[in-house]
């Protein structure tokens, strides 16, 4: 659902812009306000994708509105609307993160390309934030498991893809968010409480760089290691034990095993493949086929009974998987063993 907020103290202009943007046909909601204070309350409660604001308005002008939106660290994109006499104010708005400046009166020729650009920027921001969240999830799990190699891989990835921003201030904000989010996720697990407060407090008036962040993360692993007497959680051993115990359950899945270990499926999949050189699905199939071979070697076992015994719901499915793995159908395999 794409939303835009129009802020202009002249109602007729607000109505005209709403009609014009309606013709653009890419917004599901178009809200209008006649002063910055009312608009800000709405924006704080439910941030829109784009805000278009006039500069000179009662109660709260456009300059103050832009400053507030920047302080809130919203992903909302801002376009300033004004007349020729307000160019100096418009320049000031740019220092508050405003993306575009349009002169009144506005037609679709000027407006629509700007909306195209704003929506493209918003989409890129959302994609980037999704990547950021996924990266934090993976880093949190790697720290908790004391998987130092994977932590270093993720820190290097973050340096290349997420924290390579234009200014120190932008990096400071992003790193601060990363510390708080990672700290919160780790402490939700309980058992051992990690402290991040000193880092955030000591740097409250200074810049927290990505280098500081990397040093802090490594120190967290060190503290966890001391707390656990330098013993790592053996995820692979726990996973294999659980898989072996439930190998022949039809509902055995990667998601289920990951959930039992308290991991996300993405991380568990990566970890399992890295340490076994086979995917979870390949491992499960190999173990089931090995068991099927053992049972097929017992003459009095019926093939149809073996199907259920090794976790498959139907003979056709089992037969396809078995032939793909061995090159023979179950019946042909028995023939090779001299069993009719």
Q: Among residues 106, 136, 170, which one ends one of the domains? A: 106
Per-residue pLDDT, averaged over 167-174, amounts to 69
Per mean pLDDT, which range of 23-37, 142-156, 215-229, 298-312 is the poorest? Answer: 215-229
Instruction: Quote the pLDDT of residue 7.
Output: 92
Q: What is the pLDDT of residues 83-93, one digit of tens each?
A: 766 666 666 66
* 216 and 134 within one domain: yes
β-strand pairing of 100-103 with 3-7:
unpaired
The string of pLDDT tens digits covering residues 286-318 is 999 999 898 888 888 888 888 888 888 888 888
Angle between helices 254-261 and 235-246 (to 10 degrees): 130
Question: Look-up: residue for tokens 């078995």?
Answer: 322
Tell me, yes or no, whether 219 and 244 share the same domain: no
Q: Give pLDDT, residue 32.
A: 92
Confirm if 27 and 118 have CB atoms less than 8 A apart.
no
Mean pLDDT value across the chain: 82
Total domains in the fold of the chain: 3
Kindly tell me if the per-residue pLDDT of 122 is higher than 80: no
> Could you tell me what percent of the chain has a pLDDT over 90?
8
Distance of CA 260 to the CA centre of its chain: 22
Mean pLDDT in residue range 130-147: 84
Same domain, 218 and 245: no
111 domain-assigned = no
Phi, psi of 29 (to 5 degrees): -135, 135
Note the pTM of the prediction, 2 decimals: 0.44
| Over residues 83-105, mean pLDDT | 72
What pLDDT is recorded for position 144? 82
Cis peptide upstream of residue 18 (ω within 30 degrees of 0): no
Q: Is 20 within 8 Å of 111 (Cβ atoms)? A: yes
Q: Are 200 and 179 in contact (CB under 8 A)?
A: yes
Domain assignment present for residue 117? The answer is no
What is the CATH number for 268?
A: 1.10.10.60
What is the pLDDT, as a whole number, of residue 30?
92
The domain boundary, picked from 227, 246, 270, lies at 227
Which of 28-37, 161-170, 245-254, 268-277 is predicted least confidently? 161-170
Q: What is the pLDDT of residue 52?
A: 92
pLDDT of 123 above 70: no
- CA 21 – CA 25 distance, rounded (Å): 7
CA dihedral sign, ordered 64, 65, 66, 70: positive
pLDDT, position 204 = 45
Which of 56, 72, 106 is the last residue before a domain boundary? 106
Q: Which domain range does residue 39 map to?
A: 3-106
Beta bridge partners of 103: 82
The answer to whether residue 152 scores a pLDDT higher than 90 is: yes
Give the model's pLDDT for residue 128: 64
Higher pLDDT, 96 or 169: 96
Q: pLDDT exceeding 70 applies to what percent of the chain?
A: 85
């Amino acid at each position: 659902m794409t939303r835009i907020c129009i802020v202009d103290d002249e109602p007729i202009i607000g109505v005209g812009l709403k009609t014009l943007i309606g013709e653009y046909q890419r917004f599901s909601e178009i809200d209008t306000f006649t002063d910055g204070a009312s608009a800000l309350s709405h924006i704080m409660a439910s941030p829109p994708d784009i805000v278009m604001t006039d500069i000179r308005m009662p109660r709260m002008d456009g300059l103050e509105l832009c400053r507030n939106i920047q302080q809130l660290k919203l992903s909302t994109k801002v376009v300033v609307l004004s007349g020729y006499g307000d160019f100096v104010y418009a320049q000031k708005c740019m220092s508050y993160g405003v993306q575009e400046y349009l002169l009144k009166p506005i037609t679709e020729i000027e407006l629509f390309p700007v909306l195209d650009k704003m929506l493209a920027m918003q989409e890129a921001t959302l994609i980037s934030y999704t990547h950021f969240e996924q990266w934090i999830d993976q880093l949190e799990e790697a720290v908790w498991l004391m998987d130092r190699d994977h932590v270093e891989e993720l820190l290097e990835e973050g340096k290349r893809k997420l924290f390579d921003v234009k200014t120190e201030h932008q990096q400071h904000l992003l790193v601060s968010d990363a510390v708080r989010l990672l700290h919160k996720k780790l402490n939700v697990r309980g058992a051992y409480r990690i402290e991040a407060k000193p880092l955030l407090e000591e740097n409250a008036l200074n810049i927290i760089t990505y280098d500081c962040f990397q040093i802090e993360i490594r120190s967290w692993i060190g503290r966890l290691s001391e707390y656990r007497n330098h013993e790592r959680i053996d995820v692979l051993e726990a996973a294999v034990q659980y898989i072996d115990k439930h190998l022949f359950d039809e509902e055995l899945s990667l998601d289920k095993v990951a959930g039992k270990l308290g991991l996300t499926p993405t991380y568990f999949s990566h970890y399992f493949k890295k340490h076994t050189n086979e995917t979870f699905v390949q491992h499960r199939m190999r173990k089931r086929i090995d068991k099927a071979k053992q049972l097929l070697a017992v003459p009095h076992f019926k093939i149809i009974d073996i199907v259920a015994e090794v976790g498959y719901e139907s003979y056709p499915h089992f037969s396809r998987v078995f032939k793909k793995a061995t090159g023979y159908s179950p019946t042909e395999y028995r023939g090779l063993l001299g069993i009719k």
